[in-house]
Structures are given as C-alpha cells and as structure tokens.
Amino acid sequence: MRISDFNKLKNVIGNFKNAKVLVVGDLILDEFIWGDVSRISPEAPVPVVWVKRESFMPGGASNVANNLSSLGAHTYLAGVIGDDERGAILKGELEQKNIDVSGIVVDASRPTTLKTRVVAHHQQVVRIDKEKVGGLSDDLIKRIINNTKNIIEKVDAVIIEDYGKGVITPKLLKEIVPFARARKKIISVDPKEEHLRYYKGITLITPNNHEASKAVGFEIKDAATLKRAGQAILKKFKCKIALITLGENGMAVFEKNKPMKHIPTVAQDVFDVSGAGDTVIASYTLSLASGANPLQAAHISNCAGGIVVGKVGIAVVTPEELMDRINRERIK
C-alpha cells in the first residue's frame, strides 16, 4: 500500500466520529453461554457443557448498530422488540453503547428474537433460536416507517438489515428507499432472497456468494461467473456499488463501467464468523459516509472483517484496532 493510500484511509477512519448512520431492520438479542467440556453425556452422544458464565450482545440489525457505534459513528436504530425481558435487556445494551433507540417500537404480540449460542473451548457447540417470524401489523409497519423517515432527515447513510424476521417488508422498502434517495442519502442493503426484487435504486448491496448466485440465477463458480454476476447485480438493482463477499477468498467490488476489483482476505486465524457480515456492511457504509471511494471502503471493511473473525462470539472493531491492522498490512 502506498503512503498516500494509507494516509487517505487514516483520514477516513478519523472522520468516522463525524458521520451519522441509521440502521433499520430485524433486532435480535444474542445470548452467549460460556463453559468447558470434559466429558460426553451418558444419556446421548453429546458433550456436557459446564457453564462458567453468561453474557448478552446486540444481534441482527442491532449488531450492525453496535459496530457503527464502536467505530465512533453517531448511530440510530429502528425496528421492533417485544414487551418482554429480552427486549428490555436488548434496549439496555444498546443504550449503554450510546445508540439512539428512539426509532424502536414495542410489539406486545411477539417476543424479542433470541439466539442462544453455547460456546466451549473457543468453539460454538450449539445454537438455539427462540423467535416468532411473520408479518407485522399495518399499524406497526406505519410506525416504523414514520420513525425511520424522521431519522433519515438527520443522517448521512441508511443501512437496511434484512434477516427475514418480518421488519423489512415490500411496503417499508417502497416508502423509505425513495425517501432516502430523494434526500441524497447513502443507502446500503444486506439482502434476503425473498425481497431481492424490492432493492432498487440503492447505493450499495452486499450479498455473499450464495445470495449473489440466487440474485442472478446462475452459480458463481469461478472468476468469469463472478464478474458476470457482479455486473448483472449492478444492472438489476440499479445500484452504484455491488460488494460480493467471498468468505475465505475475500471480497469483490463492482462499479458501473469499471473492472472488478478483488480484495484478498486479510491473513487471520479464524475463531468465529458470527456477525462478520454485519461488521463489513457497517464499516463499508461508514467509510463511504466519511469520504472514502468504493475501493478504499472495501480495504477498510476487509480489514474490519478480518479482525472480528479472530475473536470469539459476536464482536466489534474499534478505530484503534482498524488503524493498527491497516498499518500492519501497509508495511508487509
């Protein structure tokens, strides 16, 4: 990496604290049960976990907001929680992280989504999901739309986090995407297959390899099909940037009338990929909002993703960690 490039990335990260970003989507509470395994159960061929401690973290769209806040952005969140203990815990966790929760509405008819992960010796043993998936009432959707529009007026970027739990609907997308676009806001989408046809006219879409294959109708299996898929996604969604994440192979950046740019993964011991996609869309969008071009944003988000997979559990990145990693990549 050239010194001029490094200085530009340094300036972008320095600008994180001035950016304002809204995340709208499915809110999840992540519970972690940490323990040790020393034997197999005599009742069934499964490990017996001796629990040492438990912890909670924001998950889903909440984790994207947590990543943004950790990186220094002024962060706003819109979505739904239940009128229950899980919702209260999640809201409390968010408020402790200085995330504006004024866009969150409470629905007494559905529980807050909970994902419980049992972790032993730095590895997940099992995950347990407790949730109610389905459509929200028209009144609830209207309240979320109104909250979202009010916040869009004062932010630089909007991230739509679709986990398929019911918050992101065609009605919501048809309202908030044109509203944000008319105000020249950056619009980033982490897509779900069932809503692909509604993500039109956005700034950035971040499918993984599988989601990108579904979007274009053919399998991505080599560099040639990857290039075809990226250009097809740009055309199909009328977006400015397509970022296809490729797991251990890094990521590919596509812009209209420009060649594909492949960013190799940052060398890293991988302990846990949970939430890595959240870190990538958060850091990429924040970089765009802080003055980066699409390729510079990709370098930053690639480094951010490389940091979190080296941690156990749902993790976040700090500006200091990011600068240290980019500096190390520069001097290799």
Express each pLDDT in 239-251 by its tens digit: 999 999 998 888 9
Residue 34 inside a domain? The answer is: no
Question: Is 278 a catalytic site residue?
Answer: yes
With 0.85 as the threshold, say if the pTM is over it: yes
Q: Going residue by residue through the chain, which has 332 residues, state the pLDDT in tens, using 9 for 90 and above.
A: 555 588 899 999 999 999 999 999 999 999 999 999 989 999 999 999 999 999 999 999 999 999 999 999 999 999 999 999 999 999 999 999 999 999 999 999 999 999 999 999 888 899 999 998 878 899 999 999 999 999 999 999 999 999 888 899 989 999 999 999 999 999 999 888 777 778 889 999 999 999 999 999 999 999 999 999 999 999 999 999 999 999 888 899 999 999 999 998 875 655 545 567 899 999 999 999 999 999 999 999 999 988 887 776 567 899 999 999 888 776 55
- From its phi and psi, is residue 275 left (phi > 0), alpha (psi between -120 and 50) or beta? left
Q: Which of 100, 156, 190, 278 is labelled catalytic?
A: 278
Residue 51 lies inside a defined structural domain of this protein? no
Number of domains in the chain: 1
Q: Does the residue 78 lie in any domain?
A: yes
> What is the dihedral sign for C-alpha 55, 148, 131, 197?
negative
For the segment 314-324, what is each residue's pLDDT rounded down to a tens digit?
678 999 999 99
Q: Quote the tokens at residue 112.
A: 């807050």
The CATH number of residue 64's host domain is: 3.40.1190.20
**Domain-located, residue 39:** no
Instruction: Give per-residue burial for 101-138: e unless 16+ CB within 10 Å, then b.
Output: bebbbbbeebbbbbbbbbbbeeeeeeeeeebeeeebee
For residue 46, tell me if it sits in a domain.
Answer: no
Residue 35 lies in a domain: no
- Residue 209 maps to a domain: yes
Q: Give the structural domain span for 70.
A: 3-29+58-114+131-330
Question: Does any domain span residue 119?
Answer: no
Find the farthest-apart pair of alpha carbons in the chain and give their distance in angstroms, rounded.
63
